Structure 1
Amino acid sequence: MMQCRGLSTPLQVAFGNGQFTGVCDATPDKGGAGQGFRPHELLEAALGSCLVMVMTKFAASHGIPLAGVAVTVTLDRSDPETAAYACAITLEGDLTDDDRRRILRAARSCPVRRTLGCKAVVTDALA
């Protein structure tokens, strides 16, 4: 569970899970101070982070010499009916083509990727 609370700076929001915290903000052209992650950047970070974790764990559990992995996620919202996430994946290490193929196949099991691909239902209620 994440808790979010508006801060005194307009459009700035503190969020946390009880153990870790962060700040979300809008860009100055949208009325914010630009002093935190934008909300959609947090979606990109969730997807990229999960992909890195899944691929790292898969490689380790299968003895694949993955030295490092990086993911750049870009969200394209130009079509209002589609959220298109482009993931550029860099795999480092002495990997065979088969190793790379297996790691990329494992990435498809990323829980955040699966969640983003589901029908979203959002409910709200006054607390």
Structure 2
Amino acid sequence: MPTIKSSYLGNLRTEMEHLQSMTRVLTDAPVDNNGKGEAFSPTDLVAAALGSCMVTIMGIVAERESVSLDSLSWEITKVMSANPRKIEEIIVDFSWEKPLQDEKIIQKLKNAAKTCPVALSLDPAIKQTVNFNF
């Protein structure tokens, strides 16, 4: 059974629908690649998926350890190469205003992030730089 149903809307724009939740996402080609840049580009979604997956797996570990990830945030920087045009690097910068003091759990969270399914699924040619600012 499909997970996502998609359609091309024209003008380098697509719409995807997550069938279980009926949530919709639009994509648009970036300005530097003939698009309008009015929505996430497909490569933006790849980069965003890495950060979201990392935090989801960290959340599973945090729940198991009875730890709250409140105030954890992150920023993603996507670096593209020119020839061929592809994602060269994804930089994930985590910030945590109220980090734990337990180094053992901190290390478990870092390991969880680095071994999330998206991180393990990306081509090894895509450099993954992860900064834990906590």
TM tier relative to shorter chain: 0.7 to 0.9
Please identify the structure whose Cα radius of gyration is greater: 1
Shift of 1:6: 1.2
Q: Is the 8 A contact 1:14 1:21 kept in 2?
A: yes
TM-score, with length taken from structure 1: 0.76
Cα contact 1:65–1:93 (8 A) shared by 2: no
Match of 1:5 in 2: 7
Q: 1:54 to 1:92 in 2, by over 3 A?
A: farther
SS of the residue corresponding to residue 92 of structure 2 reads strand
Q: Which amino acid aligns with 1:32?
A: G
Cα distance 1:114–1:77, how it changes in 2: closer, same or farther (>3 A)?
same
SS at match of 2:94: strand
- Structure 1, 41-50 or 81-90: larger mean CA deviation: 81-90
How does the TM-score come out when normalised to structure 2?
Answer: 0.72
- Structure 2 unaligned regions, length at least 5: 126-134
In structure 1, how many angstroms separate the alpha carbons of the residues matched to 2:36 and 2:80?
23
Amino acid across the alignment from 1:55: M
In the alignment, which of 43, 56, 59 is matched to residue 59 of structure 2? 56
Query: How do residues 1-127 of structure 1 correspond to structure 2 at under 5 angstroms?
Result: 1-8=3-10, 10-18=11-19, 19-78=22-81, 80=84, 83-96=88-101, 98=103, 99-117=105-123
Deviates more, 1:10-19 or 1:87-96: 87-96
Question: Does the Cα contact within 8 Å between 2:4 and 2:17 map onto a contact in 1?
Answer: yes
Contact 2:8–2:14 (CA under 8 A) maintained in structure 1: yes
More strand by share: 2
Q: Point out the more displaced range, 53-62 or 30-39.
A: 30-39
Task: State the number of aligned residues.
Answer: 118
Could you say which structure has the greater relative contact order, defined with CA pairs below 8 angstroms and 6 or more residues apart?
2
Identity of aligned residues (%): 27
- The 1:36–1:94 alpha-carbon spacing in structure 2 relative to 1, beyond 3 Å, is closer
Equivalent-residue separation in structure 2 for 1:94 and 1:27 (angstroms)? 36
RMSD of aligned alpha carbons? 2.5
Q: Is the 8 A contact 1:66 1:92 kept in 2?
A: no
